[in-house]
Copies of this chain bind each other. A is one copy, B any other.
Amino acid sequence: MRLTLLGTGDARQVPVYGCQCPACEAAHADSRLRRRPCSALVELGNQRWLIDSGLPDLTERFPPRSFSGILQTHYHADHAQGLLHLRWGQGMVIPVHGPADPEGLSDLYKHPGILDFSQPFAAFESRTFGALQVTALPLLHSKPTLGYLLEGGGRRIAYLTDTVGLPADTLALLQQQALDVLVLDCSIPPQPQPPRNHNDLNLALQIIDALKPRTGVLTHVGHTLDAWLIEHGSELPDQVIVARDGMQV
A side interface size, CB within 8 A? 27
- A12 near B77 with CB under 8 A, answer no
Per-position 1/0 for A197-224, Cβ under 8 A of B:
0000000000000000000000000000
- A221 CB, min distance to chain B CBs, angstroms: 14
User: When the two chains form their complex, are residues A59 and B17 in contact, meaning their CB atoms are under 8 A apart?
Assistant: yes
**A56 contacts B56, C-beta separation under 8 Å:** yes
Count the copies. Answer: 2
- Output the least CB separation between A36 and chain B (Å): 10
Contacting pair B89 A77 (CB below 8 A): no
10 tightest CB-CB pairs across the interface, nearest first? A17-B89, A56-B56, A12-B88, A18-B64, A77-B84, A18-B91, A18-B89, A17-B59, A106-B106, A18-B90
**A/B interface sample: 27 pairs, CB < 8 A:** A11-B88, A12-B88, A13-B88, A16-B88, A16-B90, A17-B59, A17-B64, A17-B85, A17-B86, A17-B88, A18-B89, A18-B90, A18-B91, A18-B92, A18-B114, A19-B89, A19-B90, A19-B91, A56-B56, A56-B85, A77-B84, A77-B106, A78-B84, A78-B85, A81-B81, A81-B85, A105-B106
